[in-house]
């Protein structure tokens, strides 16, 4: 709070400049953190989720883009619905992710390195497999109940903050994860990605192949799912 003395009226005028700036920073942090934890989002979705006006959310998004914390992209083709120009999707940049995740990543990497040094490399593999088993356990019910398992898995991954989608390909499908909350840790310990791929294969009931990962510097994590005789994608092609 800044006080200015008005000599003409012999009074003190209070101008709330510092608190307003502080509030802006907290709100801007909430906007960025929402995208970090929940994946790419539109301005409208963020406005509704955070209870901000459209004008307010756009102001914060513009500032975050200018600071290179966020980047505005065209929406993924598979997500575009209806007529009209699709809304831009805001995603976390690498520098933005580093800013918000750096301390957590450092702690996780340090903990895993300590485990490896004290117990051995097998401890990292055991941890990765345990995490993969947890993914299978959490996703099994929602995936097994759906005829199109890849879409069900993508929906589950999106709920976990991976912003996943499914794209049809000539010989199968691809699950694309547009965000990875553990990218920097997985860059140090690729066993996490390898175990996660095994979990996908188990959930989908078929061999899958990782084509790209954010942890290795690619734009998205891409997993190829080949067509099989009993797959739902093959059945749709025959109808």
Low-confidence ranges of the chain (pLDDT < 50): 1-8, 12-19, 78-80, 229-239
Tell me the domains of the chain and their CATH numbers.
13-92 (1.10.10.10), 121-238 (no CATH)
> Taking the model in full, what pTM does it have?
0.59
> Residue 10 has what pLDDT?
52
Give 197-237 pLDDT, tens digit per residue.
999 999 999 999 999 998 888 878 999 999 864 444 444 43
> Residue 173 has what pLDDT?
94
> Residue 221 has what pLDDT?
92
> Residue 39 has what pLDDT?
78
Q: Are 47 and 75 in contact (CB under 8 A)?
A: no
> Residue 90 has what pLDDT?
92
> Residue 204 has what pLDDT?
92
* CA–CA separation, 171 and 220 (whole Å): 20
């Amino acid at each position: 709070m800044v006080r200015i003395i008005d000599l003409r009226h012999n009074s003190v005028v209070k101008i709330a400049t510092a608190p307003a700036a502080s509030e802006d920073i907290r709100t801007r942090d909430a906007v960025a953190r929402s995208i970090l934890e929940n994946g790419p989002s539109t301005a409208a979705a963020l406005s509704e989720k955070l209870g901000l006006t459209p004008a307010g959310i756009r102001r914060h998004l513009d500032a975050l883009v200018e600071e290179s914390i966020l980047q505005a992209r065209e929406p993924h083709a598979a997500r575009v619905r209806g007529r009209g120009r699709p809304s831009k999707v805001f995603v976390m940049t690498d520098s933005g992710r580093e800013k918000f995740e750096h301390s957590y990543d450092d702690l996780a990497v340090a903990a895993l390195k300590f485990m490896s040094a004290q117990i051995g490399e097998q401890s990292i593999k055991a941890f990765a497999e345990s995490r993969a088993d947890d993914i299978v356990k959490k996703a099994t019910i929602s995936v097994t109940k759906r005829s199109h398992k890849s879409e069900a898995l993508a929906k589950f991954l999106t709920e976990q903050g991976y912003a996943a989608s499914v794209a049809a390909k000539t010989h199968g499908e691809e699950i694309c994860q547009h965000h990875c909350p553990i990218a920097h840790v997985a860059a140090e310990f690729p066993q996490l990605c390898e175990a996660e791929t095994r979990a996908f294969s188990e959930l989908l009931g078929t061999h899958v192949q990782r084509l790209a990962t954010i942890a290795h510097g690619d734009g998205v994590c891409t997993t190829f799912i080949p067509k099989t005789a009993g797959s739902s994608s093959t059945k749709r092609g025959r109808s």
